[in-house]
Amino acid sequence: MFTGLVEEKGRVVAIDDLGDSVRLVLRGPKVVSDAAHGDSIAVNGCCLTVVDQPDAESFAVDVMRESLDKTSIGDLAVGDEVNLERAVAAGQRLGGHVVQGHVDGTGRVLDRTPSEHWEVVRFSVPADLARYLVPKGSITVDGTSLTVVDVQDEGPDGPWFSVSLIPVTLADTVLGTRRPGDRVNLEVDVLAKYVERLLAAQKGADA
């Protein structure tokens, strides 16, 4: 489990194409400082397992075809920056929200509107995920826990949502450099999915 509070921006240092999977080597001195083989680290919001540590500042992960097909991890190139977060430790503050690191789908940056102290960014969202979003609710974008500002289910851009990014988020995560058209990983609030599932079961029981 994660919190969606990005610990550091890492960088892709190597990509080894294995045919039906890839092995990524990423530099992340902070997240790898206490890492061990088998530990989970969220890379742009995708929970991946440490399989090797080439040196004291980097770690390797294997990414299966399923993850490459359903997340933006397959878009990464050597030199790209990524958001990194270690799994939450028992007893620490849960400053973001409950994040599983299980990407539900991808969206794209639609536009950015800068302001003096923040920046509003709009993202497209698949129609089957839009129903889980509400204003003031939580959404994870590339592993970053964010608060939804607005949601629209229809329009020329299709379903979309917006978030307001403060300076620290712009500086300390890759969201500060995402441009219109860039693909991002999305994970909706798992609590919303549980509520939907329970209500559907209750409706079936009452029928």
- Within the chain, how many helices (H) and strands (E) appear? 4, 12
Which residue range forms the structural domain that includes residue 139? 105-196
- Say yes or no: 15 and 81 in one domain: yes
If one counts the domains in the chain, the total is: 2
Position 148 scores a pLDDT of 96
Q: Are 114 and 191 contained in the same domain?
A: yes
95 domain-assigned: no
CB atoms inside a 10 Å sphere around CB 18? 11
Which pLDDT tens digit goes with each residue over 93-127? Answer: 778 888 899 999 999 999 999 988 899 999 999 99
Residue 115: both structure tokens together: 């302001």
How does pLDDT run across 162-195, given as a tens digit for each residue? 999 999 999 999 999 999 999 999 999 988 888 8
Note the pTM of the prediction, 2 decimals.
0.91
In a domain, 32, yes or no: yes
pLDDT classification of 41: cutoffs 50, 70, 90: very high
Give the whole-angstrom CA distance, residue 95 versus residue 3.
Answer: 7
Structural Rg of the chain based on CA atoms: 17
**Is the predicted pLDDT of residue 87 greater than 80, yes or no?**
yes
Q: How many C-beta atoms surround the C-beta of residue 55 within 10 A?
A: 11
- 64 & 112 share domain: no
Residue 144 three-state SS: strand
Question: Half-sphere exposure of residue 128, counting CA atoms within 13 Å on the CB side?
Answer: 3
Which residue has better confidence, 134 or 191? 134
Which phi and psi (to 5°) does residue 68 adopt?
Answer: -65, -35
Which of 86, 113, 131 marks a domain boundary?
86
- Claim to verify: residue 32 and residue 82 sit in the same structural domain: yes
Averaged pLDDT for residues 116-140: 94
Q: Are residues 116 and 192 in the same domain?
A: yes
Q: What is the mean pLDDT of the chain?
A: 93
In a shared domain, residues 40 and 112 = no
Alpha-carbon distance 167 to 66, whole Å? 34
Whether 110 and 191 map to the same domain: the answer is yes
Percent of the chain's residues with pLDDT above 70? 98
